[in-house]
């Protein structure tokens, strides 16, 4: 892949350099190592295949070689730790808007799943994983990784066959990974560029809300050592979920965890 062509298809914003490798362990891990070694922000690493791809909550992320957009972005945001989640929101909004432009109606399941819902049928199209390098109590770097299913062979491992969907499945004719990369990275540049100001962050959260399928749902929140149910009502200014829990006066903020959608409620 000609990464210079890819870079020049962008708008000259945040992305400083794009590297595309045929195979690596994990693009997130590679950029965390680079960040600790002093690499500057704005580096994007893409891979055709990962041998140790990571998902959230210590899960693995697997995809057949050449089938997916697998990329990580290195950021050094000037944000307090509690606002770092907004980098995930920025990439999530960028992905939903990029696939929308390709003709796919996707939504965000808080915090990081890109899903397609049709008549009660829900399938995962992509996921986002942010990992931070924290030094002296402040955030030194954040690596945000995206896995987006583009064109998988029909013969899929049973553990994903009923859960995943690809752009190829939804569009009939799959787009090229490079074209999807350009569309996503344009949005990533645009939304990450808004993280530096309060109005920009507010616009991002507003847009995330518009695309978020979790709000209005009864949810079960699962965190290590704790789980509770309630109704997902809103997002905080930092992009965290606010859940109305029966018997509690204030909506409970959820900073991280797995959210299971139970059933939709009105109001």
> Using the rule CB under 6 A, is 28 a contact of ligand BTN?
yes
- Give yes or no for a cis peptide into 50 (omega within 30° of 0): no
Structure token digits, residue 16: 């400083």
Contact 81, 136 (CB under 8 A): no
Q: What are phi and psi of 88, to 5 degrees?
A: -65, -45
CB of 128 to ligand BTN, least distance (A): 6
> Using the rule CB under 6 A, is 85 a contact of ligand BTN?
no
User: What x-and-dash track marks residues 57-76 binding ligand BTN by CB under 6 A?
Assistant: --x-x--------x-x----
CB of 233 to ligand BTN, least distance (A): 23
C-alpha dihedral (212, 216, 218, 223), degrees to nearest 10: 40
Residue nearest to ligand BTN (CB): 127
Contact 166, 152 (CB under 8 A): yes
The correct pick among 145, 174, 187, 257 for binding ligand BTN (CB under 6 A) is: 145
**C-alpha distances out from residue 262 to 75, 105, 208, 215, Å:** 35, 21, 21, 12
User: What x-and-dash track marks residues 88-127 binding ligand BTN by CB under 6 A?
Assistant: ------------------------xx-------------x
CB of 144 to ligand BTN, least distance (A): 8
**C-alpha distances out from residue 259 to 36, 102, 111, 207, 209, Å:** 31, 28, 8, 20, 16
CB of 74 to ligand BTN, least distance (A): 12
Q: Which residues bind ligand BTN (CB under 6 A)?
A: 26-28, 50, 53-56, 59, 61, 70, 72, 112-113, 127-129, 145-147
């Amino acid at each position: 892949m000609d990464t210079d062509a890819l870079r020049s298809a962008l708008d000259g914003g945040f992305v400083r350099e794009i590297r595309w490798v045929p195979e690596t362990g994990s693009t997130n891990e590679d950029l965390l190592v680079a960040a600790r070694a002093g690499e500057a922000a704005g580096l994007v690493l893409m891979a055709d295949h990962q041998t140790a791809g990571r998902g959230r909550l210590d899960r693995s992320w697997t995809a057949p070689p050449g089938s997916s957009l697998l990329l990580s972005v290195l950021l050094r945001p000037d944000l307090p730790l509690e606002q770092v989640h907004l980098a995930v929101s920025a990439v999530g909004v960028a992905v939903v808007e990029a696939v929308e432009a390709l003709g796919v109606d996707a939504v965000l399941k808080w915090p990081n799943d890109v899903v397609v819902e049709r008549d009660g049928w829900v399938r995962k199209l992509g996921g986002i994983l942010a990992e931070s390098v924290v030094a002296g109590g402040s955030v030194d770097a954040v690596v945000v990784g995206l896995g987006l299913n583009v064109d998988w062979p029909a013969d899929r491992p049973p553990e994903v066959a009923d859960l995943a969907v690809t752009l190829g499945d939804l569009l009939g004719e799959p787009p090229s990974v490079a074209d999807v990369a350009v569309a996503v990275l344009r949005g990533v540049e645009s939304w990450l560029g808004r993280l530096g100001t309060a109005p920009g962050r507010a616009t991002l959260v507003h847009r995330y809300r518009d695309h978020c399928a979790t709000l209005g749902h009864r949810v079960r929140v699962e965190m290590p050592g704790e789980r509770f149910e309630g109704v997902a009502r809103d997002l905080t200014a930092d992009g965290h979920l606010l859940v109305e829990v029966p018997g509690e006066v204030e909506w409970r903020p959820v900073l991280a965890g797995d959210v299971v959608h139970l059933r939709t409620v009105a109001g």
